[in-house]
A and B are shown apart, each in its own frame.
Chain A
């Protein structure tokens, strides 16, 4: 139990190798620390991003994600460490000389300029003729579908339209890297989903590398090719959405992304691809997919996602099973969440997809019912920290 939260690259894990096409390092953040007075906002963070990726920094407020973004943009200088963009050391390069543009959370549109002037603002510094500049602005207006609104001032358009103007303005200079600070936070749910796909579409068409800061895990998981989960100024894990969700590196990551049931467990022995665990809360021994670096007698944590727990009235064939009593039931339409009390006293969550139409008296289980919970050995996550 000595292993401390190791940032990412948990090579010990049986993580499926995800091939990254045309892999080439584009952004490298190297041992970066940022202190504001005695407060450490970012603590020795390192990661790298490939060209054309949508990379998300995910974490709660105050976790340091925005500070990293601001250091990439050039608004803050790291206290320690270096920042490389496209092979160049950018650590001490001022914001106005970086091939990077940022879309601000507040959008930061210039209130005294029209939509057109806002989008064209950055082009003033490019060596281009007035006609070329006009063409580029029109191209951008077209890209974000705002062609009719070029004359308007920011206060005369809706929130969603402002968001697009901000995006168009940030993209107009064809940056190598686009930084997006909570790009969807100010939009309502419907617009957010729609805009999310638009963002991905635009990224696909322009090929610009995106770094997105967000506190919304769903947003991070759908948008990004890879994401970094952050807490208290440190990166806890970097990986694809699948890696982070299905193969979390530690309890913190597992608990932060989605919901999960944790059980204290002890390793009995290793059986090829499986670990035999003693889990008192589950009333005995269970099997779980093996990980490296554990040996008999180790105290570990067994984690199972609610949707991986199968709920059944009949005794299942699966050997990883336990009996419990339904204490709570939430019906969401497409699925239902059951809160099941185990004999040991634990309350666990099980999610069951309502794949067949059933009346109120026909569902899998009801309040006070005795049910069997089971899970496949391959779905069980073993965590050492």
Chain B
């Protein structure tokens, strides 16, 4: 009879003393564990399975080894996969650079505009999200199509400036890597602008004045003061664009070249059409390694360099 209230009291005491803090800290970890780590482990395990004509279409063991490395061997030998990875990385990198070149001036402009304008401009950046992503991609398909007014306009411009024998009846935009990069830039631009804006908005403008006071012209001030301080924003924006863009499925499927598939398309095809789940898993794991490992290395060396600088400074005293 007396045991239950004691346990309850103990629980309540734990809860009041540190329970809240621990639960708060644990929540994101539990979230990550359940929704990222567990699925990843499943995919990782599946990548070592063998494809079978059963349901689900894979098995471990049987006549095949428990750890089947065949999928990974194919990954490195079949040029389809290697080319798909390269295409994805190239398209995503190109899109990221374009997003940075377009987004940086926009973010800087918003950060330096008056307080009342800032919210309006930020609103305009986010506004496209209010229409369906798919709808916007279809809109681009319409624009880039051979018979669209947009294509005709560009074609007449192009024909106007090149010699006659280079003239085209339309500009081939659809089903090219150009189209993929264009639509990716369009779709992911806000993801570059928002973290950059958050970073640039915090910068102390007095530092710009100080640099100007010390003889730097405005462009120089940007190069010496604004740009170095915005590197965290550039990295954050770059990752937010590059990582999803390299695994993008819808954009390359709708506007990309079918002869140069991107890796998202390959994974999708392996899963759905070929019903080769183990292979699709192997491709996914490889993509993750390809994206995450350089990132982890970067973070590792960055923090190491920072620690070293701190140490040097302390020794210098």
Contacts and interface: CB of A to CB of B under 8 A. Distances in A.
Interface string A102-134: 101010111110000000011011100000000
Given A108-B207, A148-B317, A122 B310 contact: no
B210 A96 contact: no
A308 B14 CA distance: 69
Given A148-B317, A151-B312, A153-B309, A112 B213 contact: no
Interface in A148-165: 148-153, 156
B209 interface: yes
A95 interface: yes
Contact of A152 (B210, B215, B313): B313
Nearest to B206: A108
B206 A152 contact: no
Interface in B165-214: 204, 206-207, 209-214
B316 A148 contact: yes
A101 B316 CA distance: 29
A128 B316 CA distance: 27
B215 A156 contact: no
A96 B215 contact: yes
Contact of B229 (A97, A112, A126, A151): A112
B313 A102 contact: no
Contacts of A106: 204, 206
B218 to A, nearest CB: 8
B315 to A, nearest CB: 9
A73 interface: yes
Contact of B217 (A96, A111, A156): A96
Given A106-B206, A108-B206, A108-B207, A150 B214 contact: no
Query: Which among A74, A110, A124, A148 has the greatest number of chain B C-beta atoms within 10 A?
Result: A110
A367 interface: no
Interface residues of B, number: 23
B104 to A, nearest CB: 18
Contacts of A150: 316
A173 interface: yes
Interface in B32-72: none
A138 to B, nearest CB: 14
B225 interface: yes
B155 interface: no
Contacts of A331: none
Interface string B298-317: 00000000000110111011
A197 interface: no
A112 B228 contact: yes
A276 interface: no
A153 B313 CA distance: 8
Interface in B270-317: 309-310, 312-314, 316-317
Contacts of B207: 108, 110-111
Contacts of A151: 312-313, 316
Contacts of A111: 207, 229
A183 B313 CA distance: 26
Interface string A62-105: 00000000000111000000000000000000111100111010
A170 B215 CA distance: 11
B312 to A, nearest CB: 6
Contact of A173 (B204, B214, B224, B229): B214
B208 to A, nearest CB: 9
Contacts of A100: 213
B211 A121 contact: yes
Contacts of A122: 214-215
B63 to A, nearest CB: 61
Q: 5 smallest A-B Cβ distances: which pairs? A: A122-B214, A125-B215, A108-B210, A152-B313, A108-B206
Interface of B: 204, 206-207, 209-217, 224-225, 228-229, 309-310, 312-314, 316-317
21 contacts: A73-B213, A75-B212, A75-B213, A94-B212, A96-B215, A96-B216, A96-B217, A102-B213, A108-B206, A110-B225, A111-B229, A112-B228, A112-B229, A121-B211, A121-B224, A125-B215, A125-B216, A153-B313, A156-B310, A169-B214, A173-B215
Interface of A: 73-75, 94-97, 100-102, 104, 106, 108-112, 121-122, 124-126, 148-153, 156, 169-170, 173
Given A95-B212, A97-B215, A125-B214, 20 more contacts: A96-B214, A101-B214, A104-B210, A106-B204, A106-B206, A109-B210, A110-B210, A110-B225, A112-B228, A112-B229, A121-B214, A148-B317, A149-B316, A150-B316, A151-B313, A152-B313, A152-B316, A153-B313, A156-B313, A173-B215
